[in-house]
Structure 1
Amino acid sequence: MAPGLLAGLGAPLAGAPSPAAGPGFLALLWGTVVHRPYVYAFFACFLAFAVYQLGARRTATFAVSTWLVAFAAEYSSTRNGFPFGPYSYFDETRTRELWISNVPFWDSLSFVFLSYFSLVLAAALLSPREDLARGRWPGLRHPAAPLVGGAVMMLLDVVIDPVALQGDKWFLGRIYEYPYRGFWFGVTAANFLGWFAVGAASQWLFQLALRVLPWCRGAWRPVHPRFAWAVYGVYAGVFGFNLAMTLFIRDWALAAASGAVVAVTLSWLAWRLRAPGRLA
Structure 2
Amino acid sequence: MALADTAALLWGTVVHRPYVYAFFACFLVFALHQLGPRRTLVFGVTTWLLAFGAEYSSTRNGFPFGPYRYFDETRTRELWIANVPFWDSLSFVFLSYFSLALAGALLSRPEERARGRAPGLLHPLAPLLAGVLMTLLDVVIDPVTLQGEKWFLGRIYDYPYRGFYFGVTAANFAGWFLVGAVSAWVFQRCGASLPGCRGPFRRLHPRFVPGIYAVYAGVLAFNLAVTIAIGDHALAAASAAVSALTLAALAVRLRAPRRAAGIVVCAATFAEAAACRRGISDADATGLEVL
Return the alpha-carbon distance in structure 2 between the equivalents of residues 226 and 47 of structure 1: 16
- Residue equivalent to 2:70: 89
- Residue equivalent to 2:155: 174
Match of 2:186 among 205, 209, 225: 205
Return the alpha-carbon distance in structure 2 between the equivalents of residues 249 and 219 of structure 1: 46
Match of 2:244 among 232, 242, 263: 263
Residue 124 of structure 2 corresponds to residue 143 of structure 1? yes
- Residue equivalent to 1:6: none
- The C-alpha deviation readout for 1:120-163, integer Å capped at 9, x for no partner, is 10011100111111111110100000000110010000000000
1:217 shift after superposition: 1.4
What's the secondary structure of 2:132's corresponding residue? Answer: helix
1:275 shift after superposition: 7.0
- Residue equivalent to 1:28: 9
Match of 2:195 among 199, 202, 214: 214
Answer whether contact 1:23 1:95 (CA < 8 A) is retained: no
Answer whether contact 2:114 2:256 (CA < 8 A) is retained: no
1:23 shift after superposition: 7.3
What's the secondary structure of 2:204's corresponding residue? Answer: coil
What's the secondary structure of 1:214's corresponding residue? Answer: coil
Answer whether contact 1:151 1:196 (CA < 8 A) is retained: yes
Q: Percent identity?
A: 73
Match of 2:88 among 107, 114, 137: 107
Residue 105 of structure 2 corresponds to residue 124 of structure 1? yes
1:227 shift after superposition: 1.1
Answer whether contact 1:31 1:97 (CA < 8 A) is retained: yes
Tell me the C-alpha RMSD between the 2 structures. Answer: 1.5
1:218 shift after superposition: 3.0
Residue 263 of structure 2 corresponds to residue 246 of structure 1? no
- Residue equivalent to 1:7: none
Return the alpha-carbon distance in structure 2 between the equivalents of residues 252 and 166 of structure 1: 13
1:63 shift after superposition: 0.1
Match of 1:69 among 50, 55, 72: 50
Return the alpha-carbon distance in structure 1 between the equivalents of residues 116 and 169 of structure 2: 40
1:82 shift after superposition: 0.3
The count of residues paired between Structure 1 and Structure 2 equals 258
- Residue equivalent to 1:15: none
Report the residue type matching 2:101 in the other structure. Answer: V
Report the residue type matching 1:48 in the other structure. Answer: V
What's the secondary structure of 1:108's corresponding residue? Answer: helix
Name whichever of 238-247 and 128-137 sits farther off: 128-137
Say which one has the larger Rg. Answer: 2
Answer whether contact 1:88 1:178 (CA < 8 A) is retained: yes
Report the residue type matching 1:255 in the other structure. Answer: A
- The C-alpha deviation readout for 1:31-82, integer Å capped at 9, x for no partner, is 0000000000000000000001110110000000000000000000000000
1:219 shift after superposition: 3.8
What's the secondary structure of 1:54's corresponding residue? Answer: helix
- Residue equivalent to 1:59: 40
Report the residue type matching 2:163 in the other structure. Answer: G
Return the alpha-carbon distance in structure 2 between the equivalents of residues 189 and 219 of structure 1: 38
Answer whether contact 2:11 2:78 (CA < 8 A) is retained: yes
Answer whether contact 2:149 2:155 (CA < 8 A) is retained: yes
Return the alpha-carbon distance in structure 1 between the equivalents of residues 200 and 170 of structure 2: 41
Residue 224 of structure 2 corresponds to residue 224 of structure 1? no
- The C-alpha deviation readout for 1:192-232, integer Å capped at 9, x for no partner, is 00000000000000000110001101342201133111100
Report the residue type matching 1:261 in the other structure. Answer: V
Report the residue type matching 2:175 in the other structure. Answer: G
List structure 1 runs of 4+ shifted beyond 3 angstroms. Answer: none
